[in-house]
Structure 1
Amino acid sequence: MLLVKQDSSVRSWLRGYIVVVVVVFSVHRYNNSVIQMRNSAESVRQLFRVADCHSRIVAEKPI
């Protein structure tokens, strides 16, 4: 009887833990997607800037 009660409490604790993890993960992903949507234009600009600098370096490098 004690073992069954302990097992059910462990199971409920595990279920609560899984719910907390899922909620935190989904909130984290939502925040990340919002931040990425804000930063995507800037990151694309930076990427083009880096590619432009890299192509200039390659073009200026003597063969």
Structure 2
Amino acid sequence: MERYFLARVSAADVDPTRATQTDNIREHRWWSLPELRATRETVYPVGLADLIAAVAEGRTPKRPVVMT
């Protein structure tokens, strides 16, 4: 099981070289919500764009969301 957390940070605050487990980080990038919805790339967890949209609209889940 993987766990994801929402955090609001600036792009300058993200530095993969400071990650505690850098072994699988091949690249990183910022995605706008429209880019995330439109990509043909596989993005995990499935349904991430919908969850982000809900949170951006102020609909923050009261409990953790289990995504497949």
Q: Do the two structures share a fold, i.e. TM-score over 0.5?
A: no
Q: TM (normalized to structure 2)?
A: 0.20
The one of the two structures with greater contact order (alpha-carbon pairs below 8 A, sep at least 6) is 2
Q: Of Structure 1 and Structure 2, which has the larger fraction of its residues in helix?
A: 1
Q: Which is greater in Rg?
A: 1
